[in-house]
Amino acid sequence: MPHKVRSSGGPRRLRAGPTLLLAAVGALLSAPSLASTDEAARADAPALVAPDAISVPMERGLRLEYEGYFGGLHIGSARAVLERRGGEYRVSAEARARGLLEWFSQWRGRAETRGRLVDAADVRDFAEPKPDLHRNRGEWRGDPRWSILTYDADGRVSAQDGSPPDPNELTPIPDGSTRDTIDPISAIVAMAEVMQDGGLCEADLQLFDGRRRYDLTVRDGGVREFAPNDYTIFEGEARGCKLEIERIGGFRIERSKYAETARDRTVWVGRPIPGGPPVPVRVEIETAYGAAVVHLVGAYSADQRIALEPGRDVMADND
């Protein structure tokens, strides 16, 4: 099934920028390593080889750093890096729990996607991301979790899950529905050219993260002016991207009360570095139990470095 990306103007070419959206604030937070695992199911699973360590470079590419809050409480930190070489891309990211969530889960994880940019299959004149590999590693209460996705030339996806859940606790994934899907990180690469040249934030994407199959609808939320505040480096104009998720399969039958009531999911995209690419500067999710907000606290390119607290490591243990 082809992915549809709507544009409000003429042809555009893919550039760095919104590629980092799910890398920093979504891909890890929805990765299979976060889901609970049925110990009996895992014990009966065939032996698999965990992925090698995932590196997140500090001095290459475009680096973004984020802090997340729920109901005003600090719940997480994240860092993501985009590297581009010709027609290839690599996005790597790391995240960890903070505060009460860290005490409860001791969760941390890393993810990586590698892929190619190819010409679109239809009349649109822009490059589409075609992932070759997506992998993640993490820990939940000291228990390691990992998964690997590989893609062939015909759009088939092969998935390995080092911590499979009990399939009886999940909604079924329809046969054939994972073909021609992309991973969550590559999903945002598909939108980058629209945002780069000022187009509307709109797309219809089919995603599979190794465990969950879902469709992501993105609709433009207009422009908003952000005033300076103590939680972020960003001030100025940003465009809203409103997200809607249609669950296809692989989700918990017993849904979380937070996921059940989540609404008004909006990612705000702006330019924290003058003359630089547009990047996610704020994420807002409303639930019946409070609001989740993710702030951009650092943006680093080859020639510019902007940080809320210069010299601070957002992933440090002693934060």
Q: Which residues pair with 93 in a beta bridge?
A: 80, 111
Q: Could you report the per-residue pLDDT of 40-86, keeping only the tens digit for each?
A: 333 343 445 555 677 777 777 889 999 999 989 999 999 999 888 88
Contacts 24+ apart (CB under 8 A), 114-118: 114/88, 114/89, 114/90, 115/88, 115/89, 115/186, 115/189, 116/87, 116/88, 116/89, 117/14, 117/87, 117/88, 117/89, 117/189, 118/87
pTM of the predicted protein model: 0.82
Q: Could you report the per-residue pLDDT of 192-244, keeping only the tens digit for each?
A: 666 776 778 888 889 999 889 999 999 999 999 999 999 999 999 999 999 99
Q: Categorize the per-residue pLDDT at 182 as very low, low, confident or very high, splitting at 50, 70 and 90.
A: very high
Task: Write the CA distances from 213 to 30, 193, 253, 293, integer angstroms.
Answer: 12, 25, 14, 25
pLDDT for 177 beyond 70: yes
Question: Which one, of 185, 38, 28, lies nearest residue 97 by Cα?
Answer: 28
Q: Could you report the per-residue pLDDT of 76-128, keeping only the tens digit for each?
A: 999 999 888 888 889 999 999 999 888 988 888 999 999 998 876 554 555 78
